[in-house]
Structures are given as structure tokens and as C-alpha cells.
């Protein structure tokens, strides 16, 4: 296992049977913004995510996720790609590191890919990266209680429900969320 700090030099490319998890590039932005604009996706992002789809916002966002936030060891942000078509299908993050031992996972997908086990596959790979490669002892996820599909994604990957947080700040709104975690 490499030293924890050495992983933060660049976004590591991860693969699964059907997916490639890569750093976002400028060429990915139109497809990613289309995902964010989807009302079905927005519903679970807590009041919506502002879509800054013009320059200089795009360049600043890319610089933040691929450089500033990474170098400060705050978060890994991966673009989820379908391996066969190279299509951008979503995003997955691992961040909020606590003393190099714990982190939080979050993700969202194009609604075109819901129900295909894509999220389950991406979460499985990022969880293995966090536990096995980074050496984390705990990874947790917060999911709005009404998002049963996302709760199932984490549970399929060995995450256990730890509790319910009432009126929790989620995006730009407050919601009841389920805390799930996997520990080593």
C-alpha cells in the first residue's frame, strides 16, 4: 500500500468490468451538465445543484476538483464512464477525510442508467479503493430517506444503516437522511 498522501498527486483512474472512473475533462462538461439538468436527478440532490455551464465557471470547477481540492486532500471526484461507449454516465466522490481514517462517499448518475447496477459497481470499486488502497477504516454515505434505490446500492456493498438524521442539511434544503457506513 502506498502512503496515503501520495494518492493525491492526480485523480487515480479506476476500472470495473463495465466502467472507467476518471478525472473530469473539459470535453465531459456538456454531458455532465445534461445529467445535472435532469429533474429526476435534481430531485435527489437537495434543492438542485446550480449548473454553471459557461466559462469561466467550467474552468474554475475543473481546476478545483482536479487540482485544488485534490492537492489539499479534500476529495477525489471521478467521472463515471461507460467503458464500451465512453459515455459520461455520472459522478462519484470520496472525500471529507478525517485523520486519514474515514471518508464520505457520494454519487449520482444519469437517470438513463438507473436500475442497471452502474451505481452499485462504481460504489464497489471506490469503496475498495478507500479501504484497501487508502487504508481507510470507515466510509460512510448519507442518503435521503426517500431514495431507497441509493440506500440499496450502499447496502449491496456491505454498508450498514447506522441511523436516521432528522432535518439534516442536504444540498440547499433540509431532509431526513439515512447514515450508512462500512468499516474495516
pLDDT in tens, 70-84: 888 899 999 999 999
Helix 148-156 × helix 118-128 angle, to 10°: 40
Question: If you average pLDDT over residues 110-135, what whole number do you get?
Answer: 97
User: What tens digit of pLDDT does each residue of 13-68 get?
Assistant: 999 999 999 999 889 988 988 888 888 988 887 655 566 666 777 788 788 887 88
If one compares 105 and 2, the residue with the highest pLDDT of the two is: 105
Q: What's the pLDDT score for residue 29?
A: 85
Query: How many CB atoms neighbour CB 170 within 10 A?
Result: 18
For residue 174, give the 3-state DSSP assignment: strand
Q: Please list the residues that pair with 20 across neighbouring strands.
A: 15, 81
CA dist 108 and 127 (Å) reads: 15
CA dist 92 and 97 (Å) reads: 15
Among 61, 73, 75, residue whose Cα is nearest residue 32: 61
CA dist 160 and 157 (Å) reads: 9
Q: What's the pLDDT score for residue 48?
A: 58
Q: What's the pLDDT score for residue 56?
A: 78
Question: If you average pLDDT over residues 99-114, what whole number do you get?
Answer: 95
Instruction: Give the whole-number percent of the chain exceeding pLDDT 70.
Output: 95
Q: What is the mean pLDDT of the chain?
A: 91
The CATH number of the domain covering residues in 4-183: 3.40.630.30
Instruction: Give the whole-number percent of the chain exceeding pLDDT 90.
Output: 63
CA dist 75 and 27 (Å) reads: 21
Amino acid at each position: 500500500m502506498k502512503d496515503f498522501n501520495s494518492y493525491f498527486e492526480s485523480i487515480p483512474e479506476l476500472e470495473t468490468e463495465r466502467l472507467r472512473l476518471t478525472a473530469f475533462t473539459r470535453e465531459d462538461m456538456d454531458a455532465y451538465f445534461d445529467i445535472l439538468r435532469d429533474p429526476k436527478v435534481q430531485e435527489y440532490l437537495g434543492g438542485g445543484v446550480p449548473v454553471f455551464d459557461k466559462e469561466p465557471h467550467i474552468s474554475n470547477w475543473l481546476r478545483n476538483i482536479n487540482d485544488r481540492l485534490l492537492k489539499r486532500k479534500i476529495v477525489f471526484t471521478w467521472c463515471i464512464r461507460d467503458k464500451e461507449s465512453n459515455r459520461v454516465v455520472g459522478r462519484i466522490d470520496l472525500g471529507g477525510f478525517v485523520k486519514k481514517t474515514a471518508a464520505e462517499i457520494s454519487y449520482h448518475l444519469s437517470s438513463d442508467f438507473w436500475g442497471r447496477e452502474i451505481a452499485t459497481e462504481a460504489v464497489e470499486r471506490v469503496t475498495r479503493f478507500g479501504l484497501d488502497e487508502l487504508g481507510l477504516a470507515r466510509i460512510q454515505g448519507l442518503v435521503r430517506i426517500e431514495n431507497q434505490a441509493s440506500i440499496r446500492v450502499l447496502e449491496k456493498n456491505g454498508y450498514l444503516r447506522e441511523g436516521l438524521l432528522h432535518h439534516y442539511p442536504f444540498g440547499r434544503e433540509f431532509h431526513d437522511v439515512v447514515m450508512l457506513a462500512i468499516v474495516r
